[in-house]
Amino acid sequence: PWRLGEHGGPDTQAAALALGGAWAVRVLGLRAETDGRARALRRDASHDPLTGVGNRRAFRAGVERVGAQVAASGRHRAVALIDLDHFKAINDTYGHRVGDEVLRLVARRLRDAVRGRDVLARHGGDEFVVVMTVRHEREALRTAERLRTSVSGRYSLRDTAVEIGATIGVAVDDGTGSTEQLLEAADAALYGAKANGRGTIELATHRA
């Protein structure tokens, strides 16, 4: 029978193999953990911590990505800048805790309303932005109306309920304009929509 001798034998070899296997599993586990942390850091860098949707960095990346797609396809790129009507009054009346919960619920409704290829981001404060590929301006306006309708309405919270509306500015280009130009056009359209009455949509087509 085999015995563990001074120079080792099968038992020693088995132990060494087991130790090596355990070490390999540990190395793989550490690598997976490191990869998971790296993915989490990348997500944190491109997502808004309050609502979970994209942040400004994700928006800019989306504008550039969609621009490259439409420039080669003959379609158009559109940006819908969404502003919540009288949101400041909610914060002033109910406090920022309620305001933050409303923003989370708005983001959830927008996630359900956007198409899979669209890019949704929080632009800051109570503004959200959607980057999309469209065939023409009419499609951009129809999509914006769907977004406005999805956001508008009653929000039931734990201690109260609030009514929310939205005003939207839309800009469309051929995919070759800069992010700044497209966003400025959408912002100008939003400003015009607010001047004409909240709860409306206005189009300001940008030509590169």
> Which residues are annotated as catalytic?
126
Q: Which residues share a beta bridge with 80?
A: 130, 170
Q: Give the whole-angstrom CA distance, residue 77 versus residue 3.
A: 76
CA atoms within 13 A on the CB side of 207: 0
Per-residue CA distances from 171 to 71, 133, 202 (Å): 16, 12, 9
Q: Which residues share a beta bridge with 133?
A: 77
**3-state DSSP call for residue 125?**
coil
Per-residue CA distances from 67 to 45, 168, 177 (Å): 22, 21, 8
